């Protein structure tokens, strides 16, 4: 299955090209992208076509720093439900966690990873090896992330440090001025670090109820776009059947028109088991439901397919190290 990219997110390139006096339509068509698709909310493009577009634009713009110059043209709504969930997240940390979890909704060619370091929360960027990367492509995801964080937090937000896996360009002052922080070049991995006090500050725009509504849409949409992936097909079937009670490998095998033995063999080839996948889905949905204080533990127990609350509590503690109630208390 080819990697895909959310079509509306490419309106960033469209608008930036226009702002620089270029007609974007011919470049999009040359890259094999129908310009009409970029305004369709759920349309997806092949990453190879988006990559081609980047190379055509870079040739036309001839600017090694256009990656940060593009960022102010970005709006979170270009990411659909993920953008709206971002806007109502309770803190930058929860917003960033959402972005990491659902990044493939925007682009399957980009992975983000967070780590807690002595200097703060570090977000690292990984671009799929299939992408013929330009230096600007190492810069623009972090520049967009900074722009979105400032959108929620305020323009005064700065990073502790920015590292870029690219050579330092002659226009590097533009990059450091944008981030308002030191920038390290020729790094092994591109990353940005924010101070803990900033990422954990409660945001005035927070609306947990709305954020959780969008989380549900994102979870299902992410599974839908990966439906060609065998594991994701299984997850989709599990989600649809969890509230009905006992979800078994027999039920899933039947839905996939496979024998139980074939299902088990295919899972083994993927390095996993049915029980592992089932627990992953239950954990993912349980955490989502627990975040909403309106959901009672007894209801969550039923919704993720447990018959007794004590069994759910034991399973949740095995997954996370703490009980469901303590997990909810940590969120408040």
Measured CA to CA in angstroms, residue 179 lies from 62, 69, 142, 183, 213 at distances of 22, 11, 9, 8, 32
42 confidence band (pLDDT: 50, 70, 90): confident
Q: Output the pLDDT for position 244.
A: 72
pLDDT of residue 212: 77
Q: Is the pLDDT of residue 332 over 70?
A: no
Percent of the chain with pLDDT over 70: 98
Rounded-to-integer distance, Cα 86 and Cα 79, Å: 9
- Reduced to 3 states (helix: H, G, I; strand: E, B; else coil), residue 103 is helix
pLDDT band at 228 (very low <50, low <70, confident <90, very high): low
* Pure H helices in the chain: 11-19, 24-30, 47-61, 66-70, 81-87, 92-106, 135-153, 172-179, 196-199, 208-225, 230-241, 249-255, 260-269, 274-290, 297-303, 309-320, 324-331
Instruction: Work out the percent of the chain whose per-residue pLDDT is above 90.
Output: 60
pLDDT of amino acid 195 = 97
pLDDT value at residue 140: 94
Record: fold of 4-199: H-NOX domain (3.90.1520)
- Residue 232's pLDDT band, with cuts at 50, 70 and 90, is confident
Region 314-318: mean pLDDT is 92
Q: For residues 125 and 239, which has the higher predicted lDDT (pLDDT)?
A: 125
Residues 6+ apart with CB under 8 A from 24: 13, 14, 17, 18, 35
Per-residue pLDDT band at 217 (split at 50, 70, 90) = confident
* Per-residue pLDDT at 110: 95
Burial class (CB in 10 A: 0-12, 13-18, 19+), 211: buried
Between CA 164 and CA 42 the distance in angstroms is 31
Query: What would the DSSP string read from start to end of 240-266?
Result: HHGGGS---HHHHHHHTT--HHHHHHH
pLDDT of residue 1: 67
Query: What's the whole-number average pLDDT of the chain?
Result: 90
Q: Can you give the pLDDT at residue 119?
A: 92
Q: Are strands 161-163 and 191-194 parallel, antiparallel or unpaired?
A: antiparallel
The topology (CATH level 3) of 227-331 is Arc Repressor Mutant, subunit A (1.10.10)
Given a contact cutoff of 8 angstroms between Cβ atoms, the answer to whether 141 and 179 are in contact is no
pLDDT digits (tens, 9 = 90+) for 60-98: 999 999 999 999 999 998 898 899 999 999 999 999 999
Q: Using alpha carbons only, how large is the chain's radius of gyration in Å?
A: 21
What residue segments make up the domains of the chain, in order of their start?
A: 4-199, 227-331
């Amino acid at each position: 299955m080819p990697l895909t990219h959310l079509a509306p997110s490419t309106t960033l390139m469209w608008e930036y090209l226009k702002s620089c006096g270029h007609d974007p339509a011919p470049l999009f068509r040359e890259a094999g992208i129908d310009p009409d698709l970029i305004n369709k909310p759920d349309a997806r493009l092949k990453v190879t076509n988006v990559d081609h577009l980047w190379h055509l634009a870079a040739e036309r713009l001839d600017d090694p720093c256009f990656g940060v110059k593009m960022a102010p043209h970005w709006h979170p709504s270009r990411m659909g439900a993920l953008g709206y969930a971002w806007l109502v997240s309770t803190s930058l940390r929860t917003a960033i966690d959402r972005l990491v979890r659902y990044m493939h909704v925007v682009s399957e060619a980009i992975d983000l990873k967070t780590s807690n370091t002595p200097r703060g929360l570090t977000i690292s960027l990984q671009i799929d090896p299939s992408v013929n990367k330009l230096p600007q492509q190492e810069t623009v995801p972090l520049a967009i992330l900074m722009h979105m964080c400032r959108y929620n937090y305020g323009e005064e937000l700065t990073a502790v440090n920015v590292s870029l896996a690219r050579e330092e360009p002659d226009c590097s002052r533009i990059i450091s001025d944008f981030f308002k922080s030191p920038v390290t070049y020729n790094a092994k991995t591109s990353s940005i670090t924010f101070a803990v006090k900033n990422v954990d500050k409660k945001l005035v725009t927070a609306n947990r109820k709305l954020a959780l509504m969008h989380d549900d849409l994102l979870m299902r949409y992410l599974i839908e776009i990966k439906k060609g992936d065998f594991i994701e097909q299984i997850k989709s079937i599990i989600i649809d059947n969890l509230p009905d009670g006992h979800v078994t490998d027999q039920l899933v095998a039947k839905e996939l028109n496979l024998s139980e033995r074939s299902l088990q063999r295919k899972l083994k080839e993927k390095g996993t088991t049915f029980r592992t996948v089932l627990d992953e889905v239950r954990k993912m949905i349980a955490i989502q439901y627990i975040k909403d204080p309106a959901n009672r533990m007894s209801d969550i127990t039923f919704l993720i397919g447990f018959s007794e609350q004590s069994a759910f509590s034991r399973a949740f503690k095995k997954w996370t190290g703490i009980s469901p109630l303590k997990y909810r208390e940590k969120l408040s």
